[in-house]
Amino acid sequence: MCGRFVSASPPDELARYFEAEQADHALEANYNVAPTAEVYVVREADGHRQLTTLRWGLVPFWAKEAKVGAKMINARAESLMDKPAFRNAVRRHRCLVPADGFYEWAKVAGQKAKQPYFVYRPDGEPLVFAGLWERWRGQGPDGAEQTLETCAIVTCGANPTMAAVHDRMPVLLAPADWDRWLDPSAGDDPAGLDRLSRLLVPAPEGLLALRPVSTAVNRVANNGPELLEPEPQPLAPR
């Protein structure tokens, strides 16, 4: 799964990297992105890639309340084509979610505490998660009409690197696959959906590296580049 990640790259750099139109507004660097936070995504609009911001935690268009999104931060690749919460989004609303890395927690033999790891690309390139988005309209907490655009990150089984700490990981898309994932017509028929599903596989071995970091990342209130520093005495994973 993916429950926390890092989004510290400025929007102008992201726009250049994705050859996308600039974001409508800039977010502060976030070294501990948690569910319901605003995050950058790239989606297609009128034939162009557009960098914009959405709330992390997908709210299906048919949901009665927006609060369900807090539990829908990930969409399992194995079931998203059929699961009601994601079925419309995978056909119509796909996006890319850039990240500088993400966190995962490994179980430790004989202890309740888990050891957090920062997962990143050693070559310094951003990670690009396969994402889904939706637009929801309904009543906010104050009773006023509200429109929300939200997103979820697609996950799959772990590759050998990730399997050392967890059995799942985000789907990472290579640049050659971005257009296919973003193509609005790709979900129009079974053949197109089948081509999309073939993208939802573990990352190639050797693409990622893991670094043990401090348990300070466990608290969402802790947010700064110091969270990425190596932990000199990590707990041994099970």
Check if 104 is active-site: yes
pLDDT confidence of residue 165: 93
Residue showing tokens 């466990």: 218
Q: How many domains does the chain have?
A: 1
- Please state, in angstroms and as integers, the Cα–Cα distance from residue 188 to each residue in 60, 200, 201, following that order: 19, 18, 21
Choosing from 2, 95, 151, 156, the catalytic residue is 2
Angle between helix 190-197 and helix 84-92 axes, rounded to 10 deg? 100
Check if 65 is active-site: no
Choosing from 44, 104, 134, 156, the catalytic residue is 104
Report whether pLDDT(107) > 80. Answer: yes
CATH number of domain containing 60: 3.90.1680.10
The better pLDDT of the pair 138, 6 is held by 6
218 inside domain: yes
237 inside domain: no
The pTM for the full model equals: 0.94
Burial class (CB in 10 A: 0-12, 13-18, 19+), 231: middle
236 inside domain: no
127 inside domain: yes
84 inside domain: yes
Span 60-97, pLDDT tens digits: 999 888 888 888 999 999 999 889 999 999 999 999 99
44 inside domain: yes
Span 38-48, pLDDT tens digits: 999 999 988 89
Report whether pLDDT(152) > 60. Answer: yes
- Domain of 199, in residue numbers: 4-228
122 inside domain: yes
Under the banding of pLDDT at 50, 70 and 90, the label for residue 202 is very high
233 inside domain: no
